[in-house]
Amino acid sequence: MADYDLIIIGTGSGNSLVTEDFADKKVAVVERGTFGGTCLNVGCIPTKMFVYAAEVATTIRDASRFGVDATLDRVRWPDIRDRVFGRIDPISEGGRDYRVNGPNTEAYLGHATFVGEREVEVEITSPGGKHAVGEKVRITGEQIVIATGSRATIPDVIESSGVPFETSDTVMRLAELPRSMAIVGGGVIGAEFAHVFSALGVQVTQVQRGDRLLHRLDAEVGTLFTQQAQQQWDLRLNTQITGATVTQPGADGGGADGGGAGVRLELTQGDPLEVDVVLVATGRRPNSDGMGLEVVGVQTHSDGRVVVDDHGRATADGVWALGDVSAPVQLKHLANHEARVVAHNLVHPEDLQSFVHTNVPAAVFSHPQVATVGLTEEEARAGGHDVTVKMQRYGDTAYGWAMEDTTGVVKLIGDASTGLILGAHFMGPHASTLIQTVIHAMSFAQPAQQVAKEQFWIHPALAEVVENALLGL
């Protein structure tokens, strides 16, 4: 049985733990899926590459209002797809090979299960490592980090029906661009893919059980986003799926390549949908099950997240967890932060650092783009703050005029008694970039007026929308 100083289960942000501080340590890395984790392979990075292609298509369609006549002749889906994965796949493969052949690392390409204190059994499921597929290998580690990420959740009505469906893990590798698509779910993943596929010419219908998209957003901004979405694709609000069946081959709307079987969805209201492809985007759940955590006393929350303390320690000695499998929100930048903290704590147990889970920003790369940090207006009022709100439109700035923007907004929520910013919600072009100034101010507890007045803001840059919002708070 091989013994290691450190075992890392999962190669997303967990892979970044192996820094120079561990150069003299013996490290095992376990991965049952594609090396590099969700963000690299099926999440943040490839999706944004598809989003950029969608933005190019949208810009062409929108050009005439600026006096530029342009037409979108066609979309070459295979070229769009292959541009993305022609970059992504070699990085994943290179990362795997580096760990397999690393000077102080060994990669086990399979599923890890806890079988005893500081001991796991890995069933090898993929070739490419030093062990054969099907082999079961037991290893021990002085410290073990669980960084197994998350996976798509599938509603029972879809899963039990036997119909074919895609998730965010698979939809980007479709052989051909479908003619029609139903997207089930109204969260971040659904909103981004609705933009991507509708911009590329797919007839998209999005089914959302609530009364607006992005329900975790500030309600006012979420409503504005929903109104914009309704102008771009078919949106069925307050609607649920009650049944799903495969249509006959050759039927109207059959198959992603135009010739196979499609899917018919029965809805709680409105006519049934018949589409080529169903994309399920109803959230993701932590990959904590099936690991034998109960064998060693690693506890989980009711939603499957591994219980950890502020330092990343799980409820069993020598076991840590980070990222989607344990974090309160599933965001790559939060997972990276947690990985840095855990890496430090593994090397410096006498000087433990703590996770920071306040003022964690998030973005939705749809059309329009959305970015958010801190409290919503509803949360701020419920928390008893002396709430003040400023809504600033992009179109009230010089660069907003240049863009002919009529929908972009910045909403700031502050505490009138302290002058501090409690929350910020941006919707419009470059929202994820523009919000960074406010993230900085909130992170360092800088009053809104200080941020607005004690620095220069370039004129006529779009950032003036942030300046004006701060001045008005």
Q: How many contiguous H segments (helices) and E segments (strands) does the chain have? A: 14, 21
For this structure, is 459 an active site residue?
A: yes
324 is in an annotated binding site: yes
408 is in an annotated binding site: no
190 is in an annotated binding site: yes
| Tokens coding 270 | 């409105």
C-alpha to C-alpha distance for 466 and 432, rounded to whole angstroms: 12
- Dihedral Cα 112, 189, 153, 423, nearest 10 deg: 90
C-alpha separations of 375 from 192, 348, 372, 449, 452 in Å: 23, 34, 9, 19, 20
Q: How many CB atoms lie within 10 A of CB 65?
A: 7
411 is in an annotated binding site: no
C-alpha to C-alpha distance for 196 and 81, rounded to whole angstroms: 12
C-alpha to C-alpha distance for 115 and 382, rounded to whole angstroms: 46
312 is in an annotated binding site: no
Helix pair angle (44-61, 188-199), 10° resolution: 40
48 is in an annotated binding site: yes
Beta carbons of 112 and 120 less than 8 angstroms apart: yes
Beta carbons of 425 and 442 less than 8 angstroms apart: no
148 is in an annotated binding site: yes
244 is in an annotated binding site: no
Beta carbons of 220 and 411 less than 8 angstroms apart: yes
Among the options 301, 357, 440, 459, which is catalytic? 459
Beta carbons of 242 and 227 less than 8 angstroms apart: no
User: Exposed, middle or buried by CB within 10 Å (0-12, 13-18, 19+), for 252?
Assistant: exposed
Alpha helices in 308-396 (DSSP H): 332-347, 377-382
Closest CA relative to residue 314, chosen from 299, 304, 329, 301: 299
400 is in an annotated binding site: no
C-alpha separations of 114 from 141, 273, 316, 375 in Å: 11, 45, 11, 39
283 is in an annotated binding site: yes
Computed from CA positions of residues 68, 73, 78, 79, in that sequence, does the dihedral angle turn out positive or negative?
A: negative
Beta carbons of 407 and 231 less than 8 angstroms apart: no
9 is in an annotated binding site: no
150 is in an annotated binding site: yes
453 is in an annotated binding site: no
191 is in an annotated binding site: yes
Annotated binding residues for FAD: 48, 148-150, 324
Active site residues: 459
Annotated binding residues: 48, 148-150, 185-192, 283, 324
Annotated binding residues for NAD(+): 185-192, 283
